[in-house]
Amino acid sequence: MNSKTSAIIVGGGIIGSAIAADLIRAGIRCTLVEKGALLQEASAAAAGMLGAQVEIHRPGAFYELCRYSQQLYRKWTEELEELSGVSPQYIDQGIVRIAWNEEDENELRSRLPWIQDAQWLEANEFRELEPALSSHIRGGLHFPMDHQVQPVQLAHTLQAALRKLGCDIREWTPVFSLIERGGRVVGIRTSEGDLYADHVILCAGAWSSALTEPLGLKLPMFPVKGQCISIRPPAPLIRKTVFTKGCYIVPKKDGTMIVGATQEEAGFDKRCLVSAVGALHAKAAALLPALEQAELVSTWAGLRPGTRDELPFIGNSSKAPGLLFATGHYRNGILLAPGTGKLMTQLVLGQSPDRDLAPFAPDRVLAGVDAG
Whole-angstrom CA distances from 188 to 132, 162, 184, 196, 204 are 53, 21, 12, 7, 13
From candidates 261, 285, 287, 324, binder to ligand GLY by CB under 6 A = 261
From candidates 67, 331, 342, 355, binder to ligand GLY by CB under 6 A = 331
Instruction: Point out the residue whose Cβ comes nearest to ligand GLY.
Output: 331
Assess 97 for contact with ligand GLY (CB under 6 A). Answer: no
What are the counts of helices (DSSP H) followed by strands (DSSP E) for the chain? Answer: 9, 21
Assess 16 for contact with ligand FAD (CB under 6 A). Answer: yes
Among residues 29, 18, 82, 6, the alpha carbon closest in space to that of 339 is found at 18
Assess 47 for contact with ligand GLY (CB under 6 A). Answer: yes
Assess 149 for contact with ligand GLY (CB under 6 A). Answer: no
Instruction: HSE, CB side, 13 Å, CA atoms: give it for residue 125.
Output: 11
From candidates 7, 8, 9, 10, binder to ligand FAD by CB under 6 A = 10
Query: φ and ψ at 73, to 5 degrees?
Result: -60, -50
From candidates 22, 41, 55, 130, binder to ligand GLY by CB under 6 A = 55
Count of residues engaged in binding ligand FAD, rule: CB under 6 A: 43
> Of 84 and 153, which has the nearer Cβ to ligand GLY?
153
Assess 315 for contact with ligand FAD (CB under 6 A). Answer: no
> Of 43 and 153, which has the nearer Cβ to ligand GLY?
43
CB contact set of 197 (below 8 Å; sequence gap of 6+): 6, 7, 8, 29, 31, 186, 187
Chain centre distance of CA 367: 25
Minimum gap (Å) between residue 248 Cβ and ligand FAD? 8
Assess 304 for contact with ligand GLY (CB under 6 A). Answer: yes
From candidates 5, 21, 34, 259, binder to ligand FAD by CB under 6 A = 34
Burial of 48 (0-12, 13-18, 19+ CB in 10 A): buried
> Of 43 and 212, which has the nearer Cβ to ligand GLY?
43
- DSSP for residue 135: T
Minimum gap (Å) between residue 113 Cβ and ligand FAD? 24
Distance in angstroms (rounded) separating the CA atoms of residues 7 and 282: 47
Assess 260 for contact with ligand GLY (CB under 6 A). Answer: yes
Beta-sheet strand order (sheet of 175-181): 175-181, 184-190, 193-196
Assess 174 for contact with ligand FAD (CB under 6 A). Answer: yes
Residue 129: how many other CB atoms lie within 10 Å: 15
Residues that bind ligand GLY (CB under 6 A): 47, 49, 55, 226, 260-261, 304, 331
Residues that bind ligand FAD (CB under 6 A): 10-16, 33-36, 40-43, 45-49, 174-175, 203-207, 211, 226, 228, 260-261, 302, 304-305, 327, 329-335
